[in-house]
Structure 1
Amino acid sequence: MSELKMDLIDNENKKQKPDADKIAFGKHYSDHMFIMDYSTDKGWYDPRIVPYEPITLDPAAMIFHYGQTVFEGLKAYRTTTDKILLFRPEQNFKRLNLSSDRLSIPAIDEELALTYLKKLIEVEKDWVPQAEGNSLYIRPFIIATEPNLSLAPSETYQFMIILSPVGSYYKEGIHPVRIHVEDEYTRAVRGGTGKAKTAGNYAAAYKAQERATKEGYSQVLWLDGVEKKYIEEVGSMNVFFKINGEIVTPELNGSILEGITRMSIIELLKDWGIPITERKISLEELYEAYDQDKLEEAFGTGTAAVISPVGELNWGDRNMVINNREIGEMSKKLYDTLTGIQTGKVEDLYNWTVEVK
């Protein structure tokens, strides 16, 4: 990868920033973006910050035909003292490289990538929202750019980072959601690309999500792709259950994404002395716990929502109403702690935040 040297082309046509109370997720983008190129003979080269604008690709670019791409998602937060904080960004670039390895994409230098990101945010610091609950969503991604229809990894790539101000995920407070158990479609299988953050995984989930939405559910609960028996994820989030005082989450098995929020929650629970187990958990076991009044809470975890409580699970003709469709005490404590650390309201005892100077 190139030395720490980066060009900056200023955008003279600055955009008007959206009103704090009208920011829709993924609809607004900052004035600049980061780009870096790769070729097999040069490696990664020419890091630069340029005006946010459309990119030009050959119609035969391999990203369009074989889906060779990976991405990440993280956020920058503005504190009440006007500092800008990132939450565990080194883990995002580490995971980006893990995803790249699965897709035969060359690795980036993780430390340099973080330096480039921080520089981009310094340039775009006015785009980090000040309103309570708002943040700057960060999307690093890599695409295959070689114009070649041969079925082989590309020899050229672009690594880009774009920034998008987003509003509060819970504008009117946290409301537990209704979830439909998906027993027909499969999100991923062991040995596939489930543990990689790649575009095809998400497109493959649309059909099930469309059906769940039509039936009044917010998300789907994914089961393993072989036996359709064991719980894996909820929507695009990792999932946790509180059963008789113990927190249980599906173990990483090659088809489950290694969530950074998931990792942070496990570390918090261990530090608090709360029983937390990573293991296989079947839907039958979960229903049995519910039937015995031992299923106390359920929640999904991810960058966007941090914690998304589950109030109801529909499994065929069986319906599980969890904690009277109210957010549980543990879910609330985890949400308050993590968002507090992210925004500087709670002391960061774990050195998870990185300040952008």
Structure 2
Amino acid sequence: MSEQHDPAEREAILKDPGFCRHSTGHTAVVDWDADTGWSDPLVGPWSDLAMDPATLGLHYGQAVFEGLKAFRAEDGSVHLFRPEDHGRRLARSAARLAMAEMPAELFTRACADLVAADAAWVPRGYGQSLYLRPLLIATEPDLGLRPSRRYRCVILAYPADPCFGAAFRPLSVTTATDTVRAVRGGTGESKCAGNYAAGLLTRTEAQAAGYDEVLWLDGLERSRIEELSTMNLFLVWRDRTGTWVTTPPCDGTIVRGLTRDSLLTLAKDRGIAAAEEHTTIDAVRDGLRTGRLAEVFACGTAGVVVPVGRLAIGGEDLTVGDGEEGPMTAALRSSLLDVQHRRTHDAHGWLRTVVPAEGNGGRRA
């Protein structure tokens, strides 16, 4: 997927980047060896991964990844959003699969080095970003069932719109009934490659039936909602006493989304009641029928905040509200993007400056 572009071609791409259609042509690479530990990050031209067919990562699934973004502010400066937290989450995913855990400081340095090298690729549009995809994979060739003694982290970069589009159109979602994504004690909260492969069949079938995404239920009783295939889920409740938001708790079966965590914090900053609580699919159905469940939205690094306009439960297609985006969904997305683009104060220290404002000498902070 590596491409070479002159400045005019790059500017044309940045006006309409889509989601990860064009790579910057560079990667950052960090290696780990059991004898020598972690290497320094190396930024260079995109190159293929050369692997022995017996590589442990290919046979036993020792592969985890992350997704994070760099944003350009109105003054031209460029900032990574919560890179240390993404680094810590990658380390937790790696630990679950008995892989080497990259220190968050090293992870952040590698991401910052790549963004600095590709600063011209960071779009200027509101909601647009430079999307980074760090992949950590076992690289030692051996067919014995054991942890690898060598790993490579490769970080890719793409100018990007949100993955479901910049218009944030409402999604159509159907509930998974015959398959499950995760069970407690498994790898559900880890961003390991196998988790996503396990959901592809159900998601593909849902898309063939006219839906955008799948809502997964708990793996034991199949009664509680969990998350979509690539995004966490929020519910907006409303009655005569007021409005509040809930989201399923992170208790081992859903990804600990950093967008999810950011939205919970921003909601509380705005004085909105926000809670983590288990919710049954029956309660969701009843809430939609009565109107008490006024909005549903999904969130994640790639998709940002996207409304759900239609939800199929047990063969019944239910419209969420009037089928369009609700005010709470729009408000929380704006709150998040305003922080990411430095339109409002970064009260929680989420931004890591990589390129200072234009006119300040162009030095990395």
Q: TM-score range by the shorter chain?
A: over 0.9
Report deviation, 1:54.
Answer: 0.9
Work out the CA distance in 1 between the residues paired with 2:56 and 2:180. Answer: 25
**Kept in 1: contact 2:80–2:112 (CA 8 A):** no
Counterpart in the other structure of 2:139: 145
**Kept in 2: contact 1:33–1:160 (CA 8 A):** yes
Residue identity matched to 2:313:
W
Work out the CA distance in 2 between the residues paired with 1:72 and 1:180. Answer: 26
For residues 224-282 of structure 1, give each alpha carbon's deviation from its aligned partner in whole angstroms, at most 9, with x where no partner exists. 11111110002311101012222111111101100000001111122222221211110
Secondary structure of the residue aligned to 2:41 is strand
Counterpart in the other structure of 1:39: 33
Residue identity matched to 1:330:
M
Indicate whether 1:81 and 2:113 are aligned: no
Structure 1 stretch 158-167 or stretch 202-211: which is displaced more?
A: 158-167
Work out the CA distance in 2 between the residues paired with 1:168 and 1:318. Answer: 29
Number of aligned residue pairs: give it.
346
1:6-155 correspondence runs (5 A): 14-16=4-6, 17=10, 19-155=13-149
Counterpart in the other structure of 2:284: 286
Indicate whether 1:239 and 2:237 are aligned: no
**Kept in 2: contact 1:249–1:278 (CA 8 A):** yes
**Kept in 2: contact 1:21–1:167 (CA 8 A):** no
Work out the CA distance in 1 between the residues paired with 2:14 and 2:28. Answer: 25
Report deviation, 1:316.
Answer: 2.0
Work out the CA distance in 2 between the residues paired with 1:198 and 1:48. Answer: 24
Counterpart in the other structure of 1:312: 310
Residue identity matched to 2:329:
S
Counterpart in the other structure of 2:357: none
Residue identity matched to 2:182:
A
Report deviation, 1:14.
Answer: 4.8
Work out the CA distance in 1 between the residues paired with 2:166 and 2:218. Answer: 34
**Kept in 2: contact 1:290–1:320 (CA 8 A):** yes
Counterpart selection for 2:248 from 229, 241, 250? 250
Counterpart in the other structure of 1:336: 334
**Kept in 1: contact 2:19–2:162 (CA 8 A):** no
Counterpart selection for 2:209 from 203, 208, 215? 215
Residue identity matched to 1:345:
R
Work out the CA distance in 2 between the residues paired with 1:77 and 1:154. Answer: 35
**Kept in 2: contact 1:132–1:168 (CA 8 A):** no
Work out the CA distance in 2 between the residues paired with 1:317 and 1:200. Answer: 29
Secondary structure of the residue aligned to 2:196 is helix
Work out the CA distance in 1 between the residues paired with 2:86 and 2:181. Answer: 22
For residues 304-330 of structure 1, give each alpha carbon's deviation from its aligned partner in whole angstroms, at most 9, with x where no partner exists. 121110111111232221110111111
Counterpart in the other structure of 2:261: 263
Work out the CA distance in 1 between the residues paired with 2:90 and 2:141. Answer: 23
Report deviation, 1:174.
Answer: 2.4
Counterpart in the other structure of 2:295: 297
1:157-196 correspondence runs (5 A): 157-169=151-163, 173-196=167-190
For residues 141-185 of structure 1, give each alpha carbon's deviation from its aligned partner in whole angstroms, at most 9, with x where no partner exists. 210001001111111111121111113556562221111011111
Work out the CA distance in 2 between the residues paired with 1:230 and 1:103. Answer: 26
Secondary structure of the residue aligned to 1:49 is strand
**Kept in 1: contact 2:14–2:121 (CA 8 A):** no
Report deviation, 1:45.
Answer: 2.2
Work out the CA distance in 2 between the residues paired with 1:236 and 1:190. Answer: 18
1:47–1:194 CA distance, 2 compared to 1 (3 A): same
For residues 312-353 of structure 1, give each alpha carbon's deviation from its aligned partner in whole angstroms, at most 9, with x where no partner exists. 111123222111011111100001110111112222222211
Q: Give the unaligned 5+ runs of structure 1.
A: 1-10
In the TM superposition, structure 1's runs of 4+ consecutive aligned residues that sit over 4 Å from their partners are 168-172
Secondary structure of the residue aligned to 1:324 is coil
Secondary structure of the residue aligned to 1:325 is coil
Work out the CA distance in 2 between the residues paired with 1:73 and 1:192. Answer: 21
Work out the CA distance in 2 between the residues paired with 1:343 and 1:169. Answer: 18
Work out the CA distance in 2 between the residues paired with 1:46 and 1:74. Answer: 20
**Kept in 1: contact 2:65–2:191 (CA 8 A):** yes
Work out the CA distance in 2 between the residues paired with 1:228 and 1:311. Answer: 23
Q: Give the unaligned 5+ runs of structure 2.
A: 355-363
For residues 38-78 of structure 1, give each alpha carbon's deviation from its aligned partner in whole angstroms, at most 9, with x where no partner exists. 11111112532221111211111111111101110011111
Counterpart in the other structure of 2:359: none
Counterpart selection for 1:229 from 223, 228, 231? 223
After superposition, the CA RMSD in angstroms is 1.8
Residue identity matched to 2:17:
I
Residue identity matched to 1:346:
T
